[in-house]
Amino acid sequence: MLQNLFWPGVGHFDYAMQRFHESGMKDKVHDLVVNKKVPVVGVCVGMQMMAKGSDEGSLPGLGWIDAYVHKFDVSQVSAKLPLPHMGWNDIQIIRNTPLLKDLEENPRYYFLHSYYFRCHDPKDAIAKTSYGIDFTSAVNHDNIFGAQFHPEKSHHFGIQLLKNFAEKC
């Protein structure tokens, strides 16, 4: 019996969506996540694919979360921050869920992205991070979880998050 799904991601939104469509797994995965409620966690572009679409491309996203992915507009932030947002940054937990359970105070994760996830329903955002603007860095809607950061590169903070997903979600 399938326990949960891990949706990794590195790369460009349209390329990832196209490869997923070409894989022949789209309908099966959609059925598992949407109908059978198998827990899934998306990482970086894996999370972004769960939105309705992205400024990074023209293909529609999966639409599992009512959200859209926007490009950082560094001209609008005071610090003139470089893109991509790369390196360690804090997350601020907005809503505690099983994915974020038992994290140390002030958890830090490794980020590498130029686009950010904007939830249309604020209840779907479970953590935020500041990079010139506050953006959603983790989401949860029913059995669907996502992290803009890379837990696999985030030492003990990431290990705890992945352990939470495997054991509690």
Host H or E run for residue 71 = strand 67-71
DSSP state of 68: E
Coil, strand or helix: which one is 92? Answer: strand
List, by residue number, the catalytic residues.
44, 150, 152
CA proximity to 60, closest of 16, 28, 24: 16
Distances (CA, A) of 56 to 15, 75, 95, 109, 153: 10, 18, 28, 23, 24
**1 CA to centre of own chain:** 25
Beta strand 40-43 with 92-93: parallel, antiparallel or unpaired?
unpaired
Distances (CA, A) of 80 to 42, 43, 76, 131: 29, 26, 8, 10
